[in-house]
Amino acid sequence: MLFISGQIPQTPDGHVPTAPEAQCRLVWHNIQAILADAGMDVDNLVKVTTFLADRRFAEVNTQVRNEVLGTHRPALTVIVTGIFDPEWIIEVEAIAVA
């Protein structure tokens, strides 16, 4: 089992994109990189929890997530809540099983 802690929309050099879609894509890029390092891919995900800063980002979150996951549908939870950094609109944690 691989537990992926909250992935944030920040590049290794500290850049946070301002566009909601770019933030969602960056978070999923980070998740895919972690999965690849463990010899896995998105098909290994069994649970995904998404934290959104505002309900208005739900549509773009769903669009990007569905694009990344394709037909794979792990258990999903989306929580609208305050997020640690006001620049971030999204944070995603996940569980994968080999």
| Per-residue pLDDT tens over the stretch 60-72 | 999 999 999 999 9
Burial class (CB in 10 A: 0-12, 13-18, 19+), 31: buried
To the nearest whole percent, how much of the chain has pLDDT over 90? 100
What is the pLDDT at residue 11?
95
Low-confidence residues in the chain, pLDDT < 50: none
- Going from N- to C-terminal start, the domains of the chain cover 2-96
- Angle between helix 20-37 and helix 58-69 axes, rounded to 10 deg: 30
What is the pLDDT at residue 8?
98
Q: Are 37 and 91 in contact (CB under 8 A)?
A: no
Q: Are 21 and 68 in contact (CB under 8 A)?
A: no
Q: Which CATH number does 2-96 carry?
A: 3.30.1330.40
What is the pLDDT at residue 77?
98
